[in-house]
Structure 1
Amino acid sequence: MKQLIETIVKPLVDYPEDVRVEMDEYDSRITYKLSVNAEDMGKVIGKQGRVAKAIRTIVYSAAGSHHGKRVNVEIID
């Protein structure tokens, strides 16, 4: 899943080398934390959060049930 997020985000940003995805796994959920260069934050979020919502939708769909765990994507600065 980390590779999928990186594949989606890197073409969108000016500094692809700064894209980082970390995974935190809990009992009932998996959280992917996406961080990008500060200058690229607006490109990843998009107008009214549309790009961020699209990224989350793709990841949720690709994750499916993922062993019964809920998958979250957080964009951190």
Structure 2
Amino acid sequence: YTFLETTLVTLSLLPHFIAFFSDVEIPGSPSALATTFLTFVLNLAFSLSVLGFMIMHISLVSGNTTTIEGI
């Protein structure tokens, strides 16, 4: 569920992130724009790290092994 939530937030912030680097005038204060940029980057990083854990655990479950046995 964490992966789904962080992916959803990242995808919903993607248009704002793209607009941040375009020449389009973006409404809002500079602090709101900086917060949006930082939130997008952190959500993307966390989503990708949780994706790695999810892939590892799916492979462990499909192989009927534990983390200790998988090493």
TM-score by length of 2: 0.34
More strand by share: 1
Task: Name which structure has the greater RCO, CA cutoff 8 Å, separation 6+.
Answer: 2
Which of the two has greater helix per residue?
A: 2
Give 1 or 2 for the bigger CA radius of gyration. Answer: 2
TM-score normalised to structure 1 length: 0.32
